[in-house]
Structure 1
Amino acid sequence: MLVPYNQILRQARQHQYAVGAFNIYNLEGALAVIQAAEELGSPVIIQLLPAALALGGAPLIQLCLAAGKNAPVPVAVHLDHCPSQKEILVALAAGISSVMADGSRLDYAGNLAFTKEIVQAADRYTAGVEGELGRLSGSEDGLTVEAANAKMTRPEQAADFAEQTGISALAVCVGNVHGTYATEPRLDFDRLRAIGARVAIPLVLHGTSGLPDEMIVQAIAHGVCKFNVNTEVRTAYTRTLSRLFRDGKTPELVDVMQGGLEAMKHPIKEKIRLFGSTNKSFYQ
């Protein structure tokens, strides 16, 4: 069933677990997320990156919404990391549950103004908005932010940003990175604790792939209610497709689709268990 993004995160915050938000690119990805969530009785968030939306357009959103509507577990559909107001408005008009207003490339005042505009637009569709304060390093879908340009979230700004913008959730930068961690991950839990003490809305952590399990558990204890996962799921999919086409093989296309779907379910289910959302389908 389709459930508002805000409601899924409020429930997670109230009961002290986190919800997995998995980036997908096609039908197999959407089905993998929903089937994994159904098998574990977990609420879940299907995410689309702007690059996927640019290719699939509104039909890709409608596909995800239809899959979510027919699911027996709570599902929200979310546009991830979008810096374009035009693209966000397209997604909202197509019925998406929530959007991430990515103003992280801007200075504080610019980010504040951009995010506030998106919240006002989303309110007309009763959709949620995730904002980001700070800027993550790393790479995702061809977009790269060098470590020198990354910025940590400042706890003293977090409450002001959340209050002035009216966002539903806040993505924080505390040492997490997009893509693969080049060195041992080091999260600033003192910073995360300070942010959580000042901000009443759910916190979001991007760059989950590659973080040790104990860091995930500790982050949940400090108020993180949503984790974004892309790299591990995408890698499982592409490696499986590579294996199926190895040595000049030409498998049946449906077998390829099914193989990719099953491959993605494994890391999705691992993350759901780790986030503590198993059997938290609160509408059951």
Structure 2
Amino acid sequence: MALVSSTPMLQQARKQGYGIVAFNVHTLEMLQAVVDAAEESRSPLILQTTVGTVKHLGIEYIANAARTAAEKARIPIALHLDHCQSFELIIQCIRAGYTSVMIDQSMHPFEKNVEMTKKVVEVARALNVNVEAELGKVGGVEDDIHVDEDMASLADPNECQRFVELTGVSTLAPAIGTAHGIYKGEPNIDFQRIEAIAGIVEVPLVLHGGSGIPEAQVKRCVALGMAKMNVATELKNAFTNSLQRFFVEHPNDLDPRSYMSIAKTVVKQLALQKMELCGCTNKA
């Protein structure tokens, strides 16, 4: 099976009330681990890469690895570019085979956000590529994008409706109180805001900052209309922590196949937990 657009799978998830997990991967082993988890649990899957990871690994390397995974898999897999501010890089990724892109202009006024998002939608729609955009400002750190807590702002439901109508965007990530990174305390999610947005916006909604949200809150977000949940920091930390433990316990074992196989197992188990939590197991 080839890489697919995430639009149909997210529309189905929104319609049936479950969420699809989108995992930010930074290495081949992380990619393989989440694909293995999706295969085992029969879950649809969205592979994500940040702009930093694209620069680190190279667009063609990522796209070809994801394409190979999709061709070997029995489940639908989409490849998504997360939090990109550059129109040029988005076009490069689409040409390389990405089937979903996020144009993030949430730092700009509403009109500028609409203008840039609409520009991407016009190109992507003709190629059946999903487009995600953000309204409001999600706090925390995502690659080189830093939004201080006091600068984060929640999305206005009526603006969300107008934004979707003006841009034709496929999926929307409204700021509802989550943050990128690991939470220092309990996340302050505005569930009434999610419900209000979902009540007037038909496109699938995206939950950013999915790492570390308590399970009950994740389930409530999904039930209210969040069809996609991004998991980045939690996955990256699990991968790195497993490597740290390995070298403490086996300081003289310098074979990458030894420690990478353990890291893959750790990432796979976490991915399985997240898929079960969002209800997308056996939905492929």
Q: TM-score, normalised by structure 1?
A: 0.96
Query: Whole-Å Cα distance in 1 between the matches of residues 178 and 170 of structure 2?
Result: 21
- How far 1:3 sits from its partner (Å)? 2.6
Letter matched to residue 75 of structure 1: I
Structure 2 counterpart of 1:9: 10
Matched-pair contact (CA < 8 Å) for 1:137–1:177 = yes
Q: What is the match of residue 53 of structure 2?
A: 52
Matched, 1:23 2:24: yes
1:28 maps to a residue whose letter is E
Q: Secondary structure at the match of 2:58?
A: helix
Q: How does 1:109-188 map to 2 (within 5 A)?
A: 109-188=111-190
RMSD: 1.2
Q: Secondary structure at the match of 2:48?
A: strand
Aligned partners of 1:244 and 1:251 also within 8 Å: no
Give percent identity, aligned residues only: 38
Q: Structure 1 stretches of 5 or more lacking a match?
A: none
Cα deviation for residue 142 of structure 1 reads 4.2
Give unpaired runs (5+ residues) of structure 2: none
Distance in 2, Cα, partners of 1:260 & 1:166:
40
> Contact between 2:182 and 2:234, CA under 8 Å: does it hold in 1?
no
Whole-angstrom distance in 2 between the partners of 1:26 and 1:3: 21
1:18 touches 1:227 (CA, 8 Å); kept in 2? yes
After superposition, the C-alpha distances for 1:111-170 in whole angstroms (9 at most, x for unaligned) are 110111111121232211001111111112343210121111000101110111111100
User: 2:186 is aligned with what amino acid?
Assistant: E
Equivalent residues in 2 for 1:1-284, closer than 5 Å: 1=1, 2-58=3-59, 59-246=61-248, 248-281=251-284
Distance in 1 between the 2:171 and 2:156 partners?
16
User: How far apart in 1 are the matches of 2:127 and 2:26?
Assistant: 24
Alpha-carbon distance between aligned partners in 1 of 2:269 and 2:246, rounded to the nearest angstrom: 17
Give the whole-Å Cα distance in 2 for the aligned partners of 1:152 and 1:140: 17
- Runs of 4 or more, structure 1, over 3 Å off, are none
Of 252-261 and 198-207, deviating more is: 252-261
Identify the range of structure 1 (63-72 vs 199-208) with the bigger mean alpha-carbon deviation.
63-72
- Opposite residue 256 of structure 2, the aligned amino acid is L
In 1, Cα distance between equivalents of 2:130 and 2:210: 22
Q: Structure 1 residue 204: deviation in Å?
A: 0.4
Whole-angstrom CA distance in 1 between matches of 2:63 and 2:105? 22
Distance in 2 (alpha carbons) for counterparts of 1:234 and 1:69: 25
Q: Which moved more, 1:255-264 or 1:225-234?
A: 255-264
TM-score (norm 2): 0.96
Tell me the alpha carbon deviations over residues 49-69 of structure 1, each in whole angstroms, 9 at most, x when there is no partner. 000001122221221122122
Tell me, yes or no, if the aligned pair for 1:83 and 1:101 is still in contact at 8 Å: yes
- 1-structure distance, mates of 2:55, 2:113: 23
Question: What is the DSSP-based 3-state SS (H/G/I as helix, E as strand, rest coil) of the residue aligned with 1:73?
Answer: coil
Q: Quote the Cα distance in structure 2 between the aligned partners of 1:188 and 1:41.
A: 31
| Partner SS state of residue 140, structure 2 | strand
